[in-house]
Homo-oligomer: A and B are copies of this chain.
Amino acid sequence: MQNKQIPRYQQLKDLIIEQIYDGALKPLQRVPSENQLVKSMGVSRMTANRALKELNEEGYLNRRAGVGSFVSDFRVNSHLFEIKNIADEVAFRGNKHNSRIIKQSLIDVPRKISRIMNIDSNEQIFHILLVHYEDSIPIQIEDRYINRFFAPNFLEQDFLSITPSSYLSGISPLHQAEQIVSAIIPKNLISNLLEIEKESPCLLITRKTWVKKEMITYGKFYHPGDRYELVGHYEPVKSNKFQKNNKKFM
């Protein structure tokens, strides 16, 4: 612990976050206990406690009294938990999720994608187009481009058994994400795949995700307007009950 301007607890946090992002600390792996940090880092127990406590609140770690502190399993639910995995959502409603792969290929970067993702246009990129079903009813079309260096084994994945979102967030937790929601009348290809009338409205979610300041995926997610709703529930954190409940999602 050296730097003077940055508080020690923050330096500790940054150190651990860095190791998580670098892969030195992997999901579910144990991180040093408070007392170990006291010895190895030369800080007080309260300082170590604050660092680990805040990392827990921010979703990087899970802590259990009497057990220890562990890196969160971002595959289940990342700290960016607003970004939902469609399969989990369906399962949560007690229904059966499955999917149909329309395309899964390595292609030349389309002009538009090249601009959006800032990738050279004579590079190549993974593209996937698939339909998600809830109890055999189409509920989402996923039309997504994936940086090929981020997920080199993308083509070999079986996306019938694991969703692309789940696979991708297993490689590395997201650092940033952006979602834009709009209402549209989709093109014929989309309405056919969703098995809806030609002029029916759809929710279109355009999502960008980043890892280390680099855009990793860009995708469009189409939902039938009458079969899907984005639900948001907000309440202030009033008691530590909330934090404890939250752990169920980790």
**Which of B179, B225, B234 touches A177 (beta carbons < 8 Å)?**
B234
Contacting residues, chain B, for A233 (C-beta < 8 A):
176-179
CB distance from A49 to the nearest CB of B (A): 11
Q: Which residues of chain B come closer than 8 Å to A228, judged between CB atoms?
A: 182
Interface string of A4-23 (1 = CB under 8 A from B): 00010010011001000000
- Residue total for A at the interface (Cβ-Cβ under 8 A): 46
Interface flag for A184 (CB, 8 Å)? yes
Copies in the complex: 2
**A231: Cβ under 8 A from any B Cβ:** yes
Nearest Cβ distance between residue A75 and chain B, in whole angstroms?
A: 16
Select the stretch in A33-41, A79-87, A96-104, A163-171 that faces chain B: A79-87
* A202 in contact (CB, < 8 A): yes
Q: Are A239 and B202 in contact (CB under 8 A)?
A: no
Distance, CA A60 to CA B240, complexed state (A):
15
Query: Does residue A185 face the partner (Cβ distance < 8 Å to B)?
Result: yes
Task: Please give me the residue from chain B that is nearest to A9 by CB atom.
Answer: B240
A110 on interface, CB distance cutoff 8 Å: no
Given contacts A235-B176, A236-B58, contact A183 B199 (CB under 8 A): no
What are 22 A-B contacts with C-beta separation under 8 Å?
A: A7-B240, A10-B240, A14-B239, A58-B238, A79-B236, A82-B232, A175-B235, A176-B235, A178-B232, A180-B229, A180-B231, A181-B230, A181-B231, A182-B225, A182-B230, A183-B201, A183-B223, A183-B225, A184-B225, A201-B202, A201-B225, A203-B203
